[in-house]
Structure 1
Amino acid sequence: MKSENLKFLEQHQGSTTSALDRCKSFTFDVNQQAESLVQWEQRYNQHSSGTFSGYLDELKLAGIHFFEEFTNQTLLQQCAVKDDNLWLGFSLQTQRPKINNYQIEAGQIMTRPSGVEFELLTPADFHIYGLVVNKDSISQEMVGPDQALWENRDNTMQASAPNHYVSYELAKLISLLLNNNNSPSGKNSIINEHNLSRLTTLKPLITSKVADLLAQTEYTNEQHFGHYQTTQRVITEITNYIKQTNHYPLTITELCQIAHVSRRALQYCFEQGLGISPIQYIRECRLNEIRRVLLGSGQQNTIADLALNFGFFHLGTFNAQYKQLFAETPTQTLQRSERYQDANISKNTLKPSIIDK
């Protein structure tokens, strides 16, 4: 009987190449997925139960990095783009993501500049398209008022006004370049592993096409989302506290003290922003961190000591909650930690002995 990982790989298998500017990778671990995307600082926490699987299909083309990402579990992603770039992300699916706890509508394009941290909440079985563009590369394609609007964008902009045409056309362009099966107009790209060199010739046309579409996109300042600011402030203060202190709060009282809100306000912010209770959120954050420690090198503590260090006082309950979230026990995670680097598998490096375990 085929393993779930092998079934996933066959279902999503696509064209790949060994060229440095074209890559498709498959992962079966949420942390490996977060590490796969270049030009990013990011960490993924899994917030739905089950075995993780995902893939990343990407193409880097002189100033623009195109990619499509699939993840099968609900994830809260803490992200920041590197260098002097701008990220734009969107999806054509009916289930919608959230950026900084703001619900993205159909046709909206999310955007963040480099060096600005943000949180992205993506639902289960989710495809997202993305571009990481060098600001100067696109600026050279803009003229007149379009150039002024492009260069004057500030760090508070996070989502466009809905524009279904732009989203559709960008998705079609990315899909055709990646030669995948998710194109809105079907799989009919003339670009494949045998003629990838054509991209060099087509690069000016592709860059111009991206600039044309971005020039038709109107961005609304984040102040427009004022009623979301309290929710975002509360969640941001708690996540920043964890990051700065490396301490995970264990009680509602502690969370309220950190965010300076009442219990009712705290509950409302998490339910509206993330769709889960604050206690469930903080518990799943602790479980994700334990998983990273187990997969890391040099882990010396026993599982029981590690659970205790993160505030789990009943080993049976801890094991049950861990297995429910990740579909494997802490012991199984520890056992496969030695081959963790093999979790990233492409078509040309498929290792059935690893997948079937």
Structure 2
Amino acid sequence: MTFLKQHQVNTTSALERCKSFTFDVNQQAESLRQWEQRYNQHSNGLFSGYLDELTLGGVHFFEEFTNRTLQQQCCVKDDNLWLGFSLQTQRPKINNSDVLAGQIMTRPSGIEFELITPPDFHIYGLVINKHSLDTEMIGADYDLWQNKSTHLQVSKATPYVSYELAKLISLLLGNNNSPTGSMHLLDNKTPERVKHLTPLITSKVADLLTQTEYQQHQVSVSQQTAQRVITDITEYIQETGNYPLTITELCQISNVSRRTLQYCFEQGFGVSPIQYIRDCRLNEIRRVLLSEDNQHSIADLALNFGFFHISTFNAYYKELFGETPTQTIQRAGHYHHPVISQATPTAL
């Protein structure tokens, strides 16, 4: 199979951004980085499409739109792993298999596959480089690297993971055509801010993929192990005053794998480790906001505690506490001076 020559890109953690609009199916096939591929058009009319890409911290994020039915012959290059998904009701096919709603398609590098996409189709994608990410985050032994099937089976977690990954890509790209809305996370950000965000974003990707793995390969852990892991993390926070921002940090503190960590919290605490540590950080932010000597802005506090988008932070905060951070500040005085009512003793 002869492929068109593609662009080359390095795997550093520098921010790389490119958006291209095309009016020919071959031009569209040539535009996507880190791929060898050929497109054939199979519905009538003028072709148009776009490709919006961003490389950050060893993960290549992209959204692709094509307006005609396409047969795509594809192969991802250079020790990479591809994950693709769509939120649309019209579904693609991979190697002549239907891709159900919420499923994530996946192929490692060097393995050719065929993708059939319907007209007016948006597809999201991640290309993850094996060597540029922390091996403890997504290592060589991670099951997705070894996956021989064309897509992950639909499970309880997979539709949620697909939506959360799409939302993250939308935040990064800020595409007006995105089904999840237009929000740009990195526009006009200083290099220092991008450097701070990079490990949070790549950890978010790894955390979501871990949730998918958890649903694919459930096993039991003992009650003692679950309690020990939870205790280790709780004591670490109490003793150091530091709140881990990534699952990798939680694994290092508790000396367990990402998957075991997930099992322990799901089975022992009733929530995911992501939700647990997020709630811990939200509670600490609330304590700071209620402090009479607080000099930090809401946005700075959110970022310092690992919430890299203010709207998402506000939504989590309101869901947990029933009020916005601004309302907490406005009502702080009431919390410092509670009104205590005493019932009048009833005469005998």
Q: TM-score when scaled to structure 2? A: 0.53
**SS of match in other structure, 1:205:** helix
**SS of match in other structure, 2:146:** coil
Does 2:116 match 1:126? no
Identity of aligned residues (%): 70
Aligned residue type for 1:161: Q
Q: After superposition, what is the alpha-carbon deviation per residue over 1:31-75, rounded to whole angstroms, capped at 9, x for unaligned?
A: 000000111000000011110000000001131100000000000
Distance 1:76 1:196 in 2: 41
Distance 1:220 1:102 in 2: 19
Select the residue among 169, 189, 198 that pairs with 1:195: 189
**Count of matched residue positions in the alignment of Structure 1 and Structure 2:** 199
**SS of match in other structure, 1:95:** coil
Q: After superposition, what is the alpha-carbon deviation per residue over 1:234-280, rounded to whole angstroms, capped at 9, x for unaligned?
A: xxxxxxxxxxxxxxxxxxxxxxxxxxxxxxxxxxxxxxxxxxxxxxx
Aligned equivalent of 2:150: 158
Aligned residue type for 1:156: K
- Whether the 8 Å CA contact 1:96–1:123 is kept in 2: the answer is yes
Distance 2:201 2:136 in 1: 11
Does 2:170 match 1:175? yes
Q: 1:141 to 1:179 in 2, by over 3 A?
A: farther
Q: CA deviation at 1:129?
A: 0.2
Distance 1:36 1:89 in 2: 17
Distance 2:35 2:144 in 1: 23
Distance 1:200 1:122 in 2: 36
Aligned residue type for 2:69: T
Aligned equivalent of 1:39: 34
Does 2:134 match 1:142? no
The answer to which of 71-80 and 156-165 deviates more is 156-165
- Whether the 8 Å CA contact 2:49–2:67 is kept in 1: the answer is yes
Aligned equivalent of 2:259: none
- Whether the 8 Å CA contact 1:141–1:208 is kept in 2: the answer is no
Distance 1:152 1:29 in 2: 33
Does 2:11 match 1:21? no
Does 2:55 match 1:63? no
Does 2:77 match 1:85? no
Q: CA deviation at 1:137?
A: 4.3
Q: Which has the higher contact order (CA 8 A, sep 6+)?
A: 1
Q: CA deviation at 1:187?
A: 1.9
- Gapped regions of structure 2 (runs ≥ 5): 1-13, 218-348
Distance 2:190 2:101 in 1: 32
Distance 1:114 1:200 in 2: 28
- Whether the 8 Å CA contact 2:170–2:183 is kept in 1: the answer is no
Instruction: Choose between structure 1 and 2: higher helix proportion.
Output: 1
**SS of match in other structure, 2:106:** strand
Q: 1:83 to 1:141 in 2, by over 3 A?
A: same
Aligned equivalent of 1:53: 48
Q: CA deviation at 1:104?
A: 0.2
Q: TM-score when scaled to structure 1? A: 0.52
Q: CA deviation at 1:164?
A: 1.0
Q: 1:184 to 1:70 in 2, by over 3 A?
A: closer
- Whether the 8 Å CA contact 1:70–1:127 is kept in 2: the answer is yes
Q: CA deviation at 1:199?
A: 2.5
> After the TM superposition, which residues 1-357 of structure 1 pair with which residues of structure 2 at under 5 Å, given as runs?
21-138=16-133, 140-142=135-137, 150-151=142-143, 153-154=145-146, 156-162=148-154, 163-192=158-187, 194-195=188-189, 197=191, 198-218=193-213
Distance 1:101 1:196 in 2: 45
Distance 1:151 1:73 in 2: 34
Aligned residue type for 1:109: I
Q: CA deviation at 1:136?
A: 3.8
Aligned residue type for 1:85: N
Distance 1:120 1:68 in 2: 15
- Gapped regions of structure 1 (runs ≥ 5): 1-18, 222-357
- Whether the 8 Å CA contact 2:48–2:67 is kept in 1: the answer is yes
Aligned residue type for 2:153: A
- Whether the 8 Å CA contact 1:42–1:79 is kept in 2: the answer is yes
Aligned equivalent of 1:317: none
Distance 1:138 1:158 in 2: 23
Q: CA deviation at 1:156?
A: 1.6
**SS of match in other structure, 2:71:** strand
**SS of match in other structure, 2:189:** coil
Q: CA deviation at 1:153?
A: 4.1
Q: CA deviation at 1:154?
A: 2.5
